[in-house]
Amino acid sequence: MPEENNLEKMRHSCAHVVAAAIKELYPNAKFGVGPVVENGFFYDVDLDTPLSDADLKNIQKKAEYLVKQNIAFEREDLPIDEAIKFFESINQTYKVSLLRDLKEKGTTKMTEEELQDVGGSIGTVSLYKTGNFTDLCRGPHIESTKEIGAFKLTKIAGAYWRGDINNPQLQRIYGLCFETKEQLAEYLNMLAEAEKRDHRKLGQELELFTFSDLVGPGLPLFTEKGTTIRRVLEDFVWSLMKPFGYSRVWIPHIAKSDLYKTSGHWDKFSDDIFHVSSRKTDQEFVMKPMNCPHHTQIFASRARSYKDMPIRLSEVTTVYRDENTGQLQGLSRVRSITQDDAHVFCRLDQVKQEVGSIWSIIKDFYKAFGMPLSIYLSLRDDTHKEKYLGTDEVWNKAEDSLRNFLKAQNLEFVEEKGEAAFYGPKIDFRAKDAIGRYWQLATVQLDFNLPERFQLEYIDQNGEKQRPVMLHRAILGSVERFMGVLIEHYAGAFPVWLAPVQVHFISVSEKHIDGSRELLTEFDKLGIRVSIDEANETVGKKIRNASKQKIPYTIVVGDKELAGEDWQIRVFGQEEQISMSKENFVKRVKEENSERKA
């Protein structure tokens, strides 16, 4: 996508201009990394003084001035030792640290943000000069600053150098960058709408989840209402999976470290694993960071025949990741991650059919939420093969299998190098929400590597041992993150089938309480989720309280309603009430429940 590549170069170049502006305003500034991120960029900087919103405006003005000067981006390639000497001479200690790390350890342990910064190879790196400012960067960049479109610095945050709490904390300056002022304005409007829909705020107001300092950061607690939504989502996914022959399994939440050393996760994710100690054994245990290694052991628990295949194992279970505290964010980034996980063990000739079944489940699931999907084929980065398990032959076979499936289905997709899992390529599905944001949620991943590492086998029709192919799939991904997405997608006003409370009864007075309770019991037996407000308050206040909770249907229960006359039903989001008999109303709610209307 040439336009996207050009926009990425523009955003990267804008980050350099902002850094140049900071350097002019704060000559002693030391710079960390300044990568492109979605819709813009950030730059980490070490300053003698904390920045304020007023300082951010001054940096913006200085950067705008530099853009108008039409300054060229000039590249220079240097041997790594010369680059180290140069950055030492200008007291850029963080750049020196990155270069020394590159020289001694290579790129294996570097993050994508750091790789954007260092670029090059162990022997040579590239520098870019923008006027009086020189930065370490792999590029590429636009020709000159006048090609930068509309940009805006948005906020300041704290970030530990290289994500390590033991390192200095830098100031992270975020910015947006688009090709036109109109695009920037449109995105800012979307951000304003997103702020209104923030799931962290709405989740508290709607009493869906909470956090506790005693429990710990990144460990959400779900209330009765929040748990109801979780169960509805889990049941929905299962209803779509069951017809395709999936079976439910259960695995423990801890395992010996040997399991993840065998799978390869230990080396790749060692910094993110919670370790468990025991006074009764000298074995090393961990909280499980993923489920696939456990599921391989269920497959390996007995002899398998080609007639048994495919074997589809499903589970909704929680994994644990030791995320940095500064990266935690509501339900979007947590330390306890509930996955609607499934793994399919199949023959090579069954891959196409199984991927097709998963695609069918994904389509039907997101249709219920009115969320269109974009498809991405995530491939290995051929320039950094050391980051992945398996041979070229295995990777080529796996990538071709998924590519051929998408082409056979006549599906539009974009190939993205470097986005594959470390064990195999994948098809990622990005869902578009109500205000135009895209979320990476569903995925299907093809894996030849874990079956090889765990020596998984089945007996083919000739009586010979064969390796199965392993498919990893997620429909909604993390339950926590998906709930955060849904809260913002619906702005907390869930459709009837998903709402934790579908019908709310308000008793007019004390004499109507018993009748309201009878209705509550009747609706509950019909499988409709109900609540009642029998407080000694005005009907108006009770109606306002129900509206704040965004309950789909509210019914004021008085003499006429209890006498069998038509009900006057308040529908959330509508000014006009609807008039309907109790029987027809029950039919309507049950239909909306079963049809799962978006």
Catalytic residue, candidates 9, 23, 162, 426: 426
Neighbouring residues of 125: CB distance < 8 A, sequence distance ≥ 6: 77, 78, 80, 83, 99, 102, 118, 119, 136, 138
Catalytic residue, candidates 60, 92, 339, 502: 339
**Hey, how many other C-beta atoms are within 10 angstroms of the C-beta on 368?**
16
Task: Give the architecture-level CATH label for domain 2-195.
Answer: 2-Layer Sandwich (3.30)
Neighbouring residues of 297: CB distance < 8 A, sequence distance ≥ 6: 259, 454
CATH superfamily to which 201-489 belongs: Bira Bifunctional Protein; Domain 2 (3.30.930.10)
**Structural domain spans, the chain:** 2-195, 201-489, 503-595
Residue 111: pLDDT band with limits 50, 70, 90: low
Task: Answer yes or no: is 384 a known binding residue.
Answer: no
Name the residue with tokens 């489940």.
361
Mean pLDDT of the chain: 92
Checking if the pLDDT of 120 tops 70, the result is no
Residue 562: predicted pLDDT? 94
Catalytic residue, candidates 95, 472, 512, 596: 472
Residue 112: predicted pLDDT? 65
Sign of the CA dihedral 357, 360, 366, 368? negative
Closest CA to 423 of 296, 250, 272: 296
Residue 109: predicted pLDDT? 61
Residue 1: predicted pLDDT? 36
Q: Residue 263's Cα: distance from chain center in Å?
A: 24
Q: What is the average pLDDT across 396-424?
A: 90
Give the amino acid at 302. Answer: R
Q: 503-595 maps to which CATH number?
A: 3.40.50.800
The full DSSP string for 253-267 is SEEEHHHHHHHTHHH
Residue 3: predicted pLDDT? 44
The pTM for the full model equals: 0.81
Catalytic status, residue 426? yes
Closest CA to 237 of 473, 476, 471: 476
Residue 116: predicted pLDDT? 64
Catalytic status, residue 472? yes
Which residue(s) pair with 315 in the sheet?
341
Indicate the helix (H) or strand (E) that contains 37.
strand 36-37
Residue 115: predicted pLDDT? 67
Closest CA to 133 of 207, 77, 74, 183: 74
Catalytic status, residue 352? no
Residue 230: pLDDT band with limits 50, 70, 90: very high
Among the residue ranges 347-351, 353-357, 393-397, 433-437, the one predicted with the least confidence is 393-397
Residue 347: predicted pLDDT? 93
Helix, strand, coil percent values for the chain (each to nearest 5): 40, 25, 30
Torsion angle, CA of 364/313/271/213, rounded to 10 degrees? 70
Catalytic status, residue 384? no
Catalytic status, residue 172? no
Asked whether the domain spanning 201-489 has the same topology as the one spanning 2-195, the reply is no
Q: Residue 213's Cα: distance from chain center in Å?
A: 24
Residue 565: pLDDT band with limits 50, 70, 90: very high
Torsion angle, CA of 552/558/562/568, rounded to 10 degrees? -40
Which of the residue ranges 55-64, 157-166, 374-383 has the most confident prediction, judged by mean pLDDT?
55-64
Task: Answer yes or no: is 343 a known binding residue.
Answer: yes
Indicate the helix (H) or strand (E) that contains 400.
helix 392-408
Checking if the pLDDT of 113 tops 80, the result is no
Catalytic status, residue 321? yes
- Euclidean distance between CA atoms 365 and 381, whole angstroms: 31
Residue 122: predicted pLDDT? 56
The full DSSP string for 317-350 is EEEE----GGG-BTTTB-SEEEEEEEEEEE-GGG
Task: Answer yes or no: is 346 a known binding residue.
Answer: no
Checking if the pLDDT of 583 tops 80, the result is yes
- Euclidean distance between CA atoms 532 and 525, whole angstroms: 15
> pLDDT by residue (tens digit) across 207-229?
999 999 999 999 999 999 999 99
Residue 251: predicted pLDDT? 97
Long-range contacts of 117-124 (CB under 8 A, 24+ apart): 117/33, 117/34, 117/35, 120/77, 120/80, 122/80, 123/79, 123/80, 124/77, 124/78, 124/79, 124/80
**Hey, how many other C-beta atoms are within 10 angstroms of the C-beta on 491?**
17
Please give the share of the chain, as a percent, with pLDDT higher than 70.
Answer: 96
> pLDDT by residue (tens digit) across 427-464?
999 999 999 999 999 999 999 889 999 999 999 999 99
Catalytic status, residue 265? no
DSSP state of 303: -
Q: What is the average pLDDT across 481-491?
A: 97
